[in-house]
Structure 1
Amino acid sequence: MSETIQTSGGAMQVSAMVTGLDTPWAFGFLPDGKIVLTEREGQVLLVTPGEGAVTLRTPPDVFPDGQGGLLDVMVPRDFAQTRELYFTHSKRQGRGSGTAVTRAMVSADGTALTNHETVFEIAPGSNGGRHFGSRIVEAPDGTLFITIGDRGDDATAQDRSLHNGSVLRITRDGEVPSDNPFVSTQGVQPEIWSYGHRNPQGAAFDAQGQLWIIEHGARGGDEVNRIEKAANYGWPVISYGRHYSGRSIGEGTTKDGMQQPTAYWDPSIAPSGMAIFNGGSVGAWAGDMFVGSLKFDYIARLEGSPLREVEQIRGDSTQRVRDVRQGPDGDLWFLSVGNGALYRMSAVGS
């Protein structure tokens, strides 16, 4: 399956690389050209472009729970030496569940995952299957940043005795880095880097090493946030959206001591997955953000100062876009939940 989509960067050929996926959530590129891909119900696929996909044996032990299940996958920069992958997923915690991080190794023959170890899980106390967050990215210094949603309990995003509604920073072994902002603050979870988030499902570093996240608002108020150490991003005290019932949220759109979003959407596009383009196959897109829309079936391109959405890349392939990443080939790749497929978007004639 393929189609041609007209974009600001020229005509793009969008080709299906894998089809028949069951609720795909994330993917990552291995140094040998293969692609690792997760399905929310718990399957891990290893894709060889042009040849198909195999399902790896012994995936992480996950607890499917509403929006939870097997979620993000991160390929560390040293994968060629370690063969390690990191997964985020929902994990049973008493009567509820929480976001956890599991490390596993790809077997030498590429057929299974081995040496599983859950290196981190959030503090227990959440019920229901909503707002797991769950993006995981590797920082330039080798630490890991994980996004955690408020678990559908708004007020917990301001309760730092829980991990809910936070961006966390840990080492690859799940330890707390000594320079985290709340290491010495009594009653605060020491993994917290920033807080006051609703449900961040996109995360990426730009070329300068700055972390950005994308998070779901309620009815309006989806946000792009530039993440700063120890900062409070306001949910649910401030927001540019409203509750689904139509009621106002919190105290308005601003409050001293709380960060403003760099950009926001109203109405909500239900953003999930993001990439910051390094130039690659379309030089004019260098530094631009690309964000998948689950609600309106397109890929948003954002640029400028102030940052804003300037283009909607849309076609039959962009049905409920869950993840967006730039491949080592310089092209934009994305996952469509609606089509159950992984796509590659490349310039026509390239």
Structure 2
Amino acid sequence: MTKRYAFLAFLAALLVVSAHAQDDLPFSVEPIASFDQPWALTFLPDGRMLVTEKSGNLRVVTQEGSMSSPIEGLPDVDYRGQGGLGDVVLHPDYADNGMIYLSYAESGVGDTRGAAVARGVLELGERGGRLTDVEVIWRQYPKVLDDGHYGHRLAFDDDGFLWVSSGDRQKFTPAQDMQSNIGKILRLNEDGSAPEDNPFVNYIEQDPLVDGVGPYDEIWTLGHRNPLGMAFDADGQLWVIEMGPAGGDELNRIVRAENYGYPLVSNGDHYDGREIPDHDTRPEFAAPVITWTPVISPGDLMIYGGDLFEDWRGDAFAAGLSSQAIVHIRFDGDGASEYARYAMGARIRAIEEAPDGSLWVLEDERADSRGRLLKLSPAD
């Protein structure tokens, strides 16, 4: 598949998706608030939300749309290109310790940069709040030039482990390099240390070239490009959705110690038209459960567990950027397929389930408007 073919196919798919009127959506859409380049949201126990803005702001937002001043005390954010403030999640014991986790791009030596994860205690006030006791618990290694493909989605599992998606930083080969945590899915303890039962904990002892240096112990899987969505299903299975190159976006079922093949295999090709062997040419690599060509440009992934949309329990929903849609995915055992696509008329950056089962969506900022926070409820 050539770059020209992929581009034309993308345009054709965009026209098809755009042809579906928003009146046909199976939910009502209520605009709640607007933000400057919003990136992620998560719900607090009292029903309010934390929303990140890529430029470096974290805000508290009510479900009625009231918005706080930016939270003070956040780490310094390297805001350029695809970099900036990213994900936000609550510690599993947030109700007791008030701790939150943030991912972001940080600068390094000589104009290098990389993703990082910090945690701190959120102290809320009437008009905003402050993050205290901030500590950086994880960093991409090594920092590199360029400002793309950070990944840096965060998720906690039911056992209290923190999962981090780490993009390939548009550098290709580090995704296969065990001396780098770039292009990987990582499993960490809550303090950023590596669990003793991670698959590559002893790998460092087997490599005579490194002499005790390397991130092997935190790696769970490798061979990823730009994983921007992570979600656990009801059985605790982790699913990751990631951007392919020119074609070949992927939904992957994450299995301990597997190699997902990038950049050695992909169902897309390089942007300059050079072909990449498809997954079926290298069966030793884990194949994606779904691939998309034309791409959907996934920005986030959630798996629905509520009752408000009663027919959707257990289904996944991907936020589509270039596709300007919410992509509805249904599972069948270890497999999955696209069930429906809901045209939203804007780039969709994030999607989250509220405590009452409603869906909350962040638009990526467009040239003609600010990124909106939308509430989705069942259609009347």
What TM-score, normalized by structure 1, do the two folds share?
Answer: 0.93
2:154 counterpart (128, 136, 147): 136
The question of 1:330 aligning with 2:372 is answered no
Q: Cα gap change, 1:304/1:80 in structure 2, threshold over 3 Å: closer, same or farther?
A: closer
1:233 counterpart (251, 260, 277): 260
Deviation at 1:251?
Answer: 6.5
Between 1:38-47 and 1:179-188, the stretch displaced more is 179-188
Deviation at 1:13?
Answer: 1.5
In structure 2, distance between residues paired with 1:39 and 1:103: 17
| Aligned counterpart, 1:309 | 338
| Aligned counterpart, 2:75 | 60
| Aligned counterpart, 1:292 | 319
Structure 2 residues without counterparts, runs of 5 or longer? 1-20, 208-213
Q: Cα gap change, 1:251/1:289 in structure 2, threshold over 3 Å: closer, same or farther?
A: closer
Aligned letter for 1:268? V
2:117 counterpart (76, 89, 101): 101
Render the CA deviation track for 1:138-169: whole Å, top value 9, x for unaligned: 01110100000000011110001001100011
User: What is the RMSD of the two structures over their aligned residues, measured on CA atoms?
Assistant: 1.7
In structure 2, distance between residues paired with 1:200 and 1:49: 29
Deviation at 1:296?
Answer: 1.6
| Aligned counterpart, 1:164 | 182
What TM-score, normalized by structure 2, do the two folds share?
Answer: 0.86
In structure 1, distance between residues paired with 2:65 and 2:41: 17
Deviation at 1:315?
Answer: 3.2
Describe how 1:1-350 pairs up with structure 2 within 5 A.
5-7=23-25, 10=26, 12-19=27-34, 21-54=35-68, 55-95=70-110, 96-109=112-125, 110-186=128-204, 187=207, 189=215, 190-250=217-277, 253-305=280-332, 306-316=335-345, 319-337=346-364, 338=366, 339-349=370-380
Aligned letter for 1:74? V
In structure 2, distance between residues paired with 1:108 and 1:23: 23
CA contact (8 A) 1:220 1:241 kept: yes
Aligned letter for 1:155? T
In structure 2, distance between residues paired with 1:51 and 1:62: 26
Structure 1 residues without counterparts, runs of 5 or longer? none
Deviation at 1:257?
Answer: 2.2
Aligned letter for 1:70? L
Render the CA deviation track for 1:173-211: whole Å, top value 9, x for unaligned: 111100011111025521110000000000011110011
Deviation at 1:77?
Answer: 2.6
CA contact (8 A) 2:52 2:88 kept: yes
Aligned residues: 341
Deviation at 1:57?
Answer: 1.8
Deviation at 1:59?
Answer: 2.2
In structure 2, distance between residues paired with 1:76 and 1:262: 30
| Higher RCO, 1 vs 2 (CA within 8 Å, ≥6 residues apart) | 2
CA contact (8 A) 2:187 2:218 kept: yes
CA contact (8 A) 1:4 1:13 kept: no
Deviation at 1:348?
Answer: 3.3
Higher relative helix content: 2
Render the CA deviation track for 1:52-106: whole Å, top value 9, x for unaligned: 1112122222112321110011122321111111001111121211111000111
Secondary structure of 2:151's match? coil
CA contact (8 A) 1:254 1:260 kept: no
